[in-house]
Amino acid sequence: HVMAIPIMLFSFMCHASVLPIYAECKPHTRKFMLKVTKTALLFCFLVYLAVGVTGYLTFRSATIVSDVLLMYTNILPLSTPIMIARICSLVCVIFSAPLLHFPCRKALTMLLFPDKAFSWSIHLSIMLFNLILVFLNVYGLGQSLGNLLSYGGIIAGNSLILILPNLFYLKLCGV
């Protein structure tokens, strides 16, 4: 399915958070960072595997929408475990947004104001611009989680994974 490509690109957007994570690691070694990465990927794999298997075992041949929890909500609307899972999903999205916002704000600040010292007005203006842009995207594409992730993958994933690294390489090499 063609919609899977942007969603897969969206899943690689976490690489923007690698440098801040590395800066927080003690000790600052490649071996320790690989250990952190392997642990995080293993945990993600196990969570995705559990969600995928339980979703498959529950619905088998039924059409699954882009959000597995919506299918469970249609079957058991008042189920406490499903509500807890939806709340956990919401908390995950809420707390992961700043992790993606930080590198975006930092990059925009460095791009638009490369020689200026830190200024709260610039900092807050860029933050407000980013939040308004995110709000408009969520509001406009919010009918389906699949649409939201697809467009996020198309826009951010392509630029972060395919376009920007090549531009940075050209800039660093002086081409």
Residues 122-132: pLDDT tens digits? 888 988 888 78
**Residues of the chain with confidence (pLDDT) below 50:** none
Per-residue pLDDT at 61? 67
Q: For all residues of the chain together, what is the average pLDDT?
A: 76
pTM: 0.48
Per-residue pLDDT at 82? 81
Per-residue pLDDT at 35? 92
Structure tokens given for 125:
């203006």
pLDDT tens per residue across span 47-69: 888 887 887 787 776 666 666 77
8 Å CB contact between 69 and 85? yes
